[in-house]
Amino acid sequence: MITRDDILAWLKCYRQALGENKDYLTRLDSAIGDADHGANMDRGFAAVLEKLPSVAEKDVGTILKTTGMTLVSTVGGAGGPLYGTFFMRAGMALDGKTEFTPQEFLAALEAGLAGVQQRGKATTGEKTMVDALTPGCKAMREALERGKSLAEALDAAAAAAEQGMRDTIPMLATKGRASYLGERSIGHQDPGATSSALMLRCAANTLGRVQDPA
């Protein structure tokens, strides 16, 4: 079972990864956007970490919904509503729970992704975070269906998301700010796909490690 503490560890890991990759994400956003994705995500997750203590004793649904709402009210840009929606929907899927199965966690991620797609109306191949989250969720589902451990499944998810992130490089952006560049968006890695891949890598590094099945 995945516990509340694992989720808290995941969020802390992601906050740290965003801090470390702030300039990298901003650099990616300079090439095809407006040079703020790193600062935006960093500001948002700094706020999330400040907020966590007040809900740390609550259920995981509340923790993730609070994370989402905090992102919505601190990030702004496209990233704020999209990541905010992601965590709010994931939280709704885990409402009332303090521990849950890998399958339930996968369902929460998939609910988050569905929320992102509903809000942002992007599908795969448009050079957005959807291009990291979609293969990430898919790889995790396949791994769990094939009976892999949570650690293996999350690792597969992170690896697939990272591949999806790299696959955005040759894409022509048709959603988000990068779409204004037209052909010139080709050849650059999408910042949002990159922050999404980081998020799944953190999941693998935290949930994956702790929850190794005995």
Partner 1 sequence: MKKLINNPADVVKEELMGVALAHPDLVRVHFDPNYIVRVDAPIQGKVGVISGGGSGHEPMHGGFVGVGMLDAACPGAVFTSPTPDQMYEATKAVNGGAGVLHIVKNYTGDVLNFEMAAEMAMAEGIEVASVVIDDDVAVQDSLYTAGRRGVGTTVLAEKICGAAAEQGRSLQEVADLCRKVNGWGRSMGMALTSCTVPHAGKPTFDLPEDQMEIGIGIHGEPGRTRMPLKTADEITEMLALPIINDLPFKSGDTVIAMVNGMGGTPLIELYIVYRKLAEICKGHGITIARSLVGNYITSLEMAGCSITLLKADDDILKLWDAPVKTAGLRWGL
- C-beta atoms surrounding 25 within 10 Å: 24
Strands of the chain, DSSP E: 2-3, 99-100
Q: Token pair of 170, please?
A: 């040759």
Would you mind telling me the total number of residues written for the chain in this entry?
214
3-class secondary-structure state, position 127 = coil
Nearest-angstrom CA–CA distance, 167 and 89: 26
- 2 phi and psi, to 5 degrees? -90, 135
The one among 38, 44, 68, 77 contacting Mg ion by CB under 5 A: 77
Query: Rg of the Cα trace of the chain?
Result: 16
Q: Which stretch binds Mg ion (CB under 5 A): 8-16, 27-35, 96-104, 168-176?
A: 27-35
From the list 199, 192, 161, the residue with the least C-alpha distance to 38 is: 192
Least Cβ distance, residue 166 to partner 1 (angstroms): 22
Q: Which of residues 124-143 bind partner 1 (CB under 8 A)?
A: none
Strands of 75-185, DSSP E: 99-100
- C-beta atoms surrounding 74 within 10 Å: 18
The one among 56, 184, 187, 212 contacting partner 1 by CB under 8 A: 184
Nearest residue relative to ligand ADP (C-beta): 192
The one among 176, 204, 205, 211 contacting ligand ADP by CB under 6 A: 176
| By CB under 8 A, residue 43 contacts partner 1 | yes
Closer Cβ to ligand ADP, 176 or 208, answer by number:
176
The one among 37, 89, 138, 188 contacting Mg ion by CB under 5 A: 37
Residue 74 interacts with which of partner 1, Mg ion, ligand ADP, none, CB < 5 to 8 Å by class:
partner 1
Residues 6 or more apart whose CB falls under 8 angstroms from that of 200 comprise: 132, 133, 136, 154, 157, 158, 161
Residue 72 interacts with which of partner 1, ligand ADP, Mg ion, none, CB < 5 to 8 Å by class:
partner 1
Closer Cβ to partner 1, 113 or 151, answer by number:
113
Q: Which of residues 75-134 bind partner 1 (CB under 8 A)?
A: 75-82, 119-120
Chain residues in the site for ligand ADP (CB under 6 A): 29, 33-34, 36-37, 40, 77-79, 82, 116, 120-122, 128-130, 175-177, 190-193
